[in-house]
A and B are shown apart, each in its own frame.
Chain A
Amino acid sequence: MSSPESLLEEVYSELRGLARSFMHKRPPGQTLQPTALVHEAYLRLAGHAPEQGRWESRAHFCAVAAKAMRQVLANHVRDKRAQKRSPDGDRLTLSEAVAEGGTTQVDMLALHDALSDLSKVDSRKAELVELRFFGGLTMTEIAQVLDLSTATVEREWRVAKAWIGAQLK
Chain B
Amino acid sequence: MQEKVEAQNILSMNSVEVLYDNVMLAIKGVSVQVPTGEMIALLGSNGAGKSTTLKAISGLLKAERGRISRGEITFQGTDITEVLAQNRVGMGICHVIEGRRVFEHLTPDENLTAAAPRGMSRSALNAEKEKIYDYFPRLAERRNSQAGYLSGGEQQMLAIGRALVTQPKLLMLDEPSLGLAPFLVEEIFGILQKINQEEGVSVLLVEQNALAALEIVSQGYLIENGRVVMHGTAEALKSNSDIQEFYLGGGEETDFHNVKHYSRRKRWLS
Are the chains A and B members of one assembly?
no
Which B residues are within 8 Å of any A CB, using their own CB? none
